[in-house]
Amino acid sequence: MKMKKRALVSVSDKTGVVDFCKGLVKNGFEIISTGGTAKALKEAGLNVIGISEITGFPECLDGRVKTLHPNVHAGLLAMRSNSEHMAQLEKLKINTIDIVCVNLYPFKATLAKGADFAECIENIDIGGPTMIRAAAKNYQDVAVIVDPNDYQKVLTELAEGGVTLETKKYLQYKVFAHTAVYDSLISNYLASQLGITFPDDVTFAYEKAQDMRYGENPQQQAVFYREQFPRKGSLSTAKQLWGKELSYNNINDANGALELLKEFGSTPAVVACKHANPCGVGTGDSVYQAYMRAYESDPVSVFGGILAINGTVDEDTATEINKIFIEIVMAPAYTEKALEILEQKKNIRLLQIDEITARRESTAFDMKKVYGGLLVQQYDESLIKGEDLSVFKTRAQVETSTLANGKQKTVYGCGVVTNRAPTEEEIAAMLFNWKVVKHTKSNAIVIGKQGRTTGIGMGQTNRIWAAQQAIAHAGKEAKGSVMASDAFFPFPDCVEECVKAGITAIIQPGGSIQDKASVEACNSAGIAMVFVGDRHFKH
């Protein structure tokens, strides 16, 4: 039995498939095909062998069973260099299949359109993955194509004498990468349907969005991958309007600014960020006012920083931004005049992010790669324990007990823990600062007034240094400001710094065995302090 050159073609994405098959025919191949692909090829004037002619069995079960047959898989898996394999094909009258061109049922597109469970399950491909995995296993004899971008390369090499072993190995790799992503999408979808948050085994599907010149440092190679389903209001959905490509550090830092911006909802807000930490934050009645407050918070650090803005950038705001060097501006919209002004700076990058204030989806997780493993956690979505804002006007419950050593232990609940309760203005400033400190690297202290930060201390190895840093940055603006601490005060020393600086109120989680000492220090100075329960470490 003389083996004929045959290609099996069955694709959901029919981009370029007609021209590819014409090229195969030109190179002496017979085309085997199924269903809709066979119809499209016949309509283009190509001779096609129906899959049933190969299997001797009709397509059945609404197309669920087409290619799952020994006449197909023996033709794919027989090793041409193995005489016993070839003798068995001869005896069984099975022809080899030398090229497989298959892409899978559109499970991703089915999910994206919000299909119900039944439709999603029906769009899980069975025959396709089986065929391409079989062909890829026998890579030395079969060229298997899952990406239309590879059609021309295969045709070029066929015209030059045959698909090279190097290309076949590359195509083999693409098959298993393709099925790994496909199966990841399916398994994660099924986990979500079952409410499984942290499965025993997990895979994640990402696609390359951008090659980068380098990583954090020039000696590090880097790339940006985005999720298969880009999240609303994320950098993966950003449209770049102006400027050179974003760098690794740009994306990392911009994400920090974007996460904080979401805390302010529709209130006009501007976050200035440096090294993924806020350096100035402002809110106001307009984007312009919010920008000026953010800039005035730290006009030194904002230079060369990143701006995240939750409203339309207008002419006045753009004029102010252009007075200094800014790396990136992110906003949902820009006026035509604002773009004209900002584009005068060749080194600025302008990003448009629709739905920039969209909150994170419940299926999103915070992940940190460590050498040899992966840390996965839910995002820190809370602000105040129980989200109960009455905490600012409610007296905290206090319990005192005697320890075994005879010492007294005082435990405070959430609420006002000092003799003096905060004023309405101080409460507004507390809430504002609490949102900022939540997105500042620990140990973190933020001081500020209603609508703007005045000083930020971040990333210190002890809390007193973070407090001193924030106060030093604020300078004379510290007086009359409010302080927020992302975790409890282990000692009253931070309160003592507040007294010296003229800070009038403090918001913190509470929970230290030294809480009483800090409360008493506040009472002595007339400072109001509120415990809110939730800690906001960020590392």
Given a cut of 90, whether residue 90 has pLDDT beyond it is no
Structure tokens, 16: 């370029």
Q: With bands split at pLDDT 50, 70 and 90, how would you rate the model's confidence at 128?
A: confident
Cis status of the peptide bond prior to 250, with omega within 30 of 0: no
Rounded mean pLDDT, 1-19: 86
* Catalytic residue list contains 368: no
330/265 Cα distance (integer angstroms): 15
Phi, psi (deg, nearest 5) at residue 326: -125, 135
Given a cut of 90, whether residue 500 has pLDDT beyond it is yes
The per-residue pLDDT for 82 is 86
Rounded mean pLDDT, 328-343: 97
Quote the pTM value: 0.85
The per-residue pLDDT for 516 is 92
Side chain identity at residue 474, one-letter code: A
Q: Name the least confident of 194-198, 464-468, 494-498, 521-525.
A: 194-198
Structure tokens, 366: 């915070």
Which residue did the predictor score with more confidence, 407 or 170?
Answer: 170
The per-residue pLDDT for 283 is 97
Given a cut of 90, whether residue 89 has pLDDT beyond it is no
Q: What is the pLDDT of residues 210-267, one digit of tens each?
A: 999 899 999 999 999 998 888 889 999 999 999 999 999 999 999 999 999 999 999 9
The per-residue pLDDT for 1 is 59
The per-residue pLDDT for 312 is 97
Reference 508, options 460, 438, 423; nearest CA is 438
Work out whether the CA dihedral 198, 199, 204, 205 comes out positive or negative. negative
Structure tokens, 218: 């020039």
Q: What is the pLDDT of residues 175-207, one digit of tens each?
A: 999 999 999 999 989 998 998 888 888 888 898
Candidates 275, 337, 345, 385; catalytic one: 275
* Catalytic residue list contains 178: no
Kindly give the residue spans of alpha helices, DSSP state H, lying in 212-321. Answer: 248-261, 287-297, 315-321
Mean pLDDT of the chain: 91
Candidates 14, 42, 137, 345; catalytic one: 137
Q: With bands split at pLDDT 50, 70 and 90, how would you rate the model's confidence at 539?
A: confident
Specify the DSSP class assigned to residue 16: T
CA within 13 Å, CB half, 372: 0
Specify the DSSP class assigned to residue 88: H
Question: DSSP letters of 108-176?
Answer: HHHHHTT--HHHHHHT--SHHHHHHHHHHHTTTT-EEE--GGGHHHHHHHHHTTS--HHHHHHHHHHHH
Q: What is the pLDDT of residues 157-178, one digit of tens each?
A: 999 989 999 999 999 999 999 9
